[in-house]
Amino acid sequence: MKKFFGYFVLIIVNYFLISLIILSFSIISLKNNKVYDLFWIKFVQKNLYFKTGFRNIFQHNSNCVKFDEELIYVPKEGVCNFSNPEFDTKLNFDEYRRLNLVDDEIKIDDEIIAVLGDSIAMGWGVENNETFAYYLQELTEKKVINLGVSSYGTIREIKRLKKNEYYDQIDTIIIQYHLNDYGENLNMDPKKTYSKNEFDKFFNSYQDKSNSFFVLLKIFKKTLRLSISHLNDLLFPEANKEVVNFNKHIDLIQNIISKNFMNENKKILVFTTVEPWERFEYNKLKEPQGFDFIEINFKKDHKFIIDDHPNKYGHKEIAKKINEFLFSN
């Protein structure tokens, strides 16, 4: 019995030491912009990336955004250098949109597709000619303008759209929706204006926590529990999927669209991306009024390793699915 207990203690101590080594290695590698698609390391790096100061955020970058009294912030015109451990990109904006720098000219008789959305639509982590808006323009052979802005909800996206100089030429609107848009859509007053002080408070709200002992301790505790939780996911993959009640999202989107596009002859498609660990539940027999809705399922190679945004292959998949829907309808 003593021998068994000794082996047990030895295993626990070794597991503790290995976990500590993994955490230390992950911190050092992230500081050197090295990311590894290895299960244990990937898990720790992802937690460090999102919960400490390793992640740069577009809307908290003074080189990328400026104050706007109607929208809190808008992208700055010109070039924004935006990088994180998995990418180093340049984003080009004019007053109204993200440019693709390949074919941005718009003629007076062009019919335009407008892309609205948050950081996914904007193209977080990909180059100007790697966004799904750009790929969709190639597939449809129609002008596609990218109005996506990181962290915008649907209300701000539509306000920005209606200020666009090409609004009357837009015949199709693609709205990329994310679950985290719900809170802003529910609570934001479309008529509210913002002060520079409110913008400054928002801009400075993101804090570097990379040196926080308690944050690192929490990540270390998660590392220790990792093997057990991973075994559970392998044995019961469907049971462990996050079930999302999407009915409230659909209802709120419909309310926003009906208020903003009543009696306008514009085709509207709303889509959301679904992760492998998610399952959306909603009344699919209840047809949305005034817009179409589709889900786009992501696979592992459609996203960065630790960043939760689609890479260029994910953007190609989004453009492909949207084009298929538009062509069939």
Domains of the chain: 2-54+213-240 (no CATH), 58-202+243-328 (3.40.50.1110)
Please give the Cα distance from 118 to 134 (Å, whole number).
16
- Does residue 285 register a pLDDT over 80? no
- How many Cα atoms occupy the beta-carbon half-sphere of 128 within 13 Å? 18
pLDDT band at 233 (very low <50, low <70, confident <90, very high): low
pLDDT band at 119 (very low <50, low <70, confident <90, very high): very high
pLDDT score of 284: 61
Cβ–Cβ < 8 Å for 36, 15: no
pLDDT score of 104: 82
pLDDT per residue as tens digits for the range 101-116: 888 888 888 889 999 9
pLDDT band at 149 (very low <50, low <70, confident <90, very high): very high
H-helix segments, 112-264: 119-122, 132-140, 154-162, 182-187, 196-203, 213-235, 247-261
Non-local (6+) Cβ contacts of 101 within 8 A are: 92, 128, 129
Q: What is the pTM of this model?
A: 0.88
141-155 average pLDDT score: 96
pLDDT band at 124 (very low <50, low <70, confident <90, very high): very high
Give me the sign of the Cα torsion angle 254, 324, 118, 275.
positive
Please give the Cα distance from 288 to 157 (Å, whole number).
20
pLDDT score of 245: 81
pLDDT score of 208: 52
Cβ–Cβ < 8 Å for 235, 258: no
129-153 average pLDDT score: 97
pLDDT score of 19: 77
Cβ–Cβ < 8 Å for 271, 177: yes
157-165 average pLDDT score: 95
- Does residue 141 register a pLDDT over 80? yes
- Does residue 216 register a pLDDT over 70? no
Cβ–Cβ < 8 Å for 126, 312: yes
pLDDT band at 41 (very low <50, low <70, confident <90, very high): confident
- Does residue 303 register a pLDDT over 70? yes
- Does residue 20 register a pLDDT over 90? no
- Does residue 26 register a pLDDT over 90? no
pLDDT band at 286 (very low <50, low <70, confident <90, very high): low
Phi-psi region of 140 (alpha: psi -120 to 50; beta: other; left: phi over 0): alpha
pLDDT score of 112: 96
Please give the Cα distance from 174 to 115 (Å, whole number).
5
Least confident of 19-23, 142-146, 181-185, 294-298: 19-23
pLDDT score of 295: 92
